[in-house]
Every structure is written in structure tokens, then in C-alpha cells.
Amino acid sequence: MRFTISKNIGRVDQLIRLSISLSMIYFGFINLGLIDDEFSATLIGIFGSLNLIVALVQFCPLYAAVGINTYCQSSSKN
């Protein structure tokens, strides 16, 4: 049995997720001066890391459960 994941995140959605997730990782793990609570900073860093994985894989399980698909396949005809 082969399991395939169909992409459901488009390019614009991916770029937005990448920028948000990188900033969350920065403020959660690197720049600890902005967030005083260590637990909250760690949670923000973890959510940023998970969002980065989702952006790189271009598959969001929440989008799949709700039925949202922003991925647009380009159909090139010769």
C-alpha cells in the first residue's frame, strides 16, 4: 500500500507561512529578550517549527480536514 500526500498549499501561502514561521522561530528560540515567559517563548518556537515543516512540505492537515486547497497546478500544453 502506497501513501501519497497531495499538495494543498500554494506558492503565496507558502511564502507567507515561511516568513511567519521564521519570525516565530527567531522570537521563540533566538531572541529571548522580547518574550519574558520561557514557556510561552518555547511554544511560539515549536509552533513556528511545525509551521515551517508544513510550508516546506506544502501539505497542511488542517486544510485537508476543512477542504481548503490553495495549490494551483500549472497545466502546460505543448
pLDDT reported for residue 16:
96
pLDDT reported for residue 12:
94
Residue 72 is assigned to a structural domain of this protein? no
Q: What angle do CA 21, 26, 28 make, to 5 degrees?
A: 90
Mean pLDDT per 10-residue section of the chain, whose length is 78 residues? 84 96 95 91 96 95 91 68
Overall domain count for the chain: 1
Residue 4 is assigned to a structural domain of this protein? no
Residue 30 is assigned to a structural domain of this protein? yes
Phi, psi of 24 (to 5 degrees): -65, -40
Residue 74 is assigned to a structural domain of this protein? no
Residue 2 is assigned to a structural domain of this protein? no
CB 22 within 8 A of CB 52: yes
pLDDT reported for residue 62:
92
Q: List the domain range (segments joined by +) for residue 42.
A: 11-66
Nearest to 45 by CA among 74, 19, 24, 59: 24
Residue 3 is assigned to a structural domain of this protein? no
Residue 61 is assigned to a structural domain of this protein? yes
